[in-house]
Amino acid sequence: MILCKKILVSLLMFISFITTTNTVQAAAKKMCVFDLLGANGPVFMQMKDYKTVALAWGVELELKPYTNERVAAEDFKSGLCDAVSLTGIRARQFNSFTGSLDAIGAIPSYDHLKTVIATISSKKAAKLMLAEPYEVAGIFPGGAAYMFVNDRSIDTVGELAGKRIAILDSDPAQVEMVSFVGASPVGSSIANMYSKFNNGSVDVTYGPAIVYEAMELYKGLEPNGGIIDFSLVQLTGQILIRKSEFPTGFGQLSREYALTQFDSVVQLIHKYESKIPKKLWITIPNADKAGYLEVFRQSRIRLRDKGIYNAKTLKLMRMVRCKKDSSLAECTAQDKE
């Protein structure tokens, strides 16, 4: 009995030693997390899981929720946070390569997006994830973004002319695109662009399916509105770190982990999409889709030439589109991306 007690005590002391050692080894780092719904939102919940996994890589993350993405980005830039979780659009200021994944019309489906993320999450692409002093440490699907319109007759590019469209004032690409189709851009933040749609200040807004319920967009869709069943952009969520503050190899481990979460995140996105009443979806003819795609392509080329979109990213996404469908007109176009 005495021997058993000695063994038990020794075992407990060993466990205590291991726990203490791991705690000391794990570096404490602050992470700003943007989620429109705050600490109760899906992104913040996702980062809680990420926090658990990061312990195995030697980092203990202290998560801080933000409902204002601009503030989260500024706190990261100023050093108040060692890591940050942002939308790809906002992340463009830290890394133009991954920040161009959200280029309008560039990624048609979740399957295309998975191929792109898998390609750039490999060790071979590690250099592209670096833009000193920052490193992109993970890319997650954020959901296909759709146009929410207050008039169901707005279902072609031409009918956008003269309409008031809520856009993110932090993204020059959106200003360029809306102006190109002859619409009136109304500068907004993620926090207020949906309230503008609901109160009638704008005719059109856009976003992933989750905002339908979360931002109560059914109010702005009444009585004659709808959602155009055609993805404008595949939104992404991106984790960025200040590279010098993290252990060697952390970024690569993190990117590989993010890739393993792709399918489960897309399943959640599909769940939000299925919650939208079928009567609200507006199906547009294939001929009109072709028109949208060409407008998007020309916009991307102009934005590339202006230095807003990264040329390498656009080329990669074009190659993925053409690999999956070589019959696309752009695959043989003179002005390829």
Can you give the pLDDT at residue 4?
42
CB-CB contact of 107 with 223 (8 Å):
no
Can you give the pLDDT at residue 290?
82
For the stretch 69-82, pLDDT in tens is 999 999 999 999 99
pLDDT average, residue stretch 161-183: 85
Q: What percent of the chain has pLDDT over 90?
A: 76
Q: What percent of the chain has pLDDT over 70?
A: 93
For the stretch 221-267, pLDDT in tens is 999 999 999 998 999 999 999 999 999 999 999 999 999 999 999 99
For 28-142+234-275, CATH number? Answer: 3.40.190.170
In the chain, domain spans? 28-142+234-275
Can you give the pLDDT at residue 13?
38
